[in-house]
Structure 1
């Protein structure tokens, strides 16, 4: 016959939580990534913030004549950037490549980093898909999408009055 073992419960004191294997795994993964982040902060895309260092920031502005999208792409050339329009969605793609080599009497360092990115913006129906221009200057991509003539002409300002 098995011995009588008390089961923790409201009358026998607080219940203890049995360690969960998945909690332990989650904690170990967090510790591993914190350690990696702390030891390799100079790697693009792996510093605190992760994808923020890989994805370019975008500024999107609209006025009566056009929609303008600007992307900060420091360190890239125009040949590394691809701009497409499909079904009203403007997509900016590119690839960052970086190499560094340093030689000295006592050491030799060679580092390479790379990463691709893609950002997409849905353009309004008022944009004329045949009148879109992209220019790249000093690390900034500027895409100007002109609006259709009927969209520009049909815009009417409505006066707001005090009630």
Structure 2
């Protein structure tokens, strides 16, 4: 079997006109093992994505770091981010254009020549979190303790006035 036989799209794109023999019909069908291989890869990609691991199909490492939690009440929005190995001086926070931006840089503690193997990641990061209307930008506070950053974004009074609670009935209309 040639390598080109493993590529399912090459046979379908280069289809020749004319009568179809049984052999050509068989060649035009995707190989069942290729379909199984694709499905297993998709299964593992979906499973590992939940653990923050890179997918087999592509490397999405760092796209969702730092990991955050969002909590919302009528008075404020609380954003908590895990930033292990960082100090408050390594992190920059901004609120602009309807988004909270966390950016910073994690530096390596040892030089590359001293490191034999490492699964730790270093470098710059930036995470933007969209915010609803009605955040009081002047009263935003941040606290950093034990590698956990907590940002409190208070709502303005006007933001609470525009909220309408809708009752949910158990009966069908």
TM normalised by structure 2 equals 0.57
CA-based RMSD: 3.4
Moved over 6 A (4+): none
Counterpart-to-counterpart distance in 1, 2:110 and 2:134 = 46
Give unmatched runs, 5+ long, in structure 1: 1-8, 18-46, 102-107
Tell me if 1:161 matches 2:169. yes
SS at match of 1:71: strand
SS at match of 2:158: helix
Residue in 2 that maps onto 1:64: 74
Contact 1:133/1:145 (8 A) holds in 2: yes
Residues 14 and 144 (structure 1), Cα distance of their counterparts in 2 relative to 1, 3 Å cut? same
Residue in 2 that maps onto 1:143: 151
Residues 125 and 11 (structure 1), Cα distance of their counterparts in 2 relative to 1, 3 Å cut? closer
Residue in 2 that maps onto 1:129: 137
Counterpart-to-counterpart distance in 2, 1:91 and 1:68 = 14
Give unmatched runs, 5+ long, in structure 2: 1-18, 29-52
Q: CA deviation at 1:92?
A: 0.1
Aligned length: 124
Counterpart-to-counterpart distance in 2, 1:120 and 1:138 = 22
Q: CA deviation at 1:152?
A: 3.3
TM normalised by structure 1 equals 0.61
The structure whose residues are more often strand, as a share, is: 1
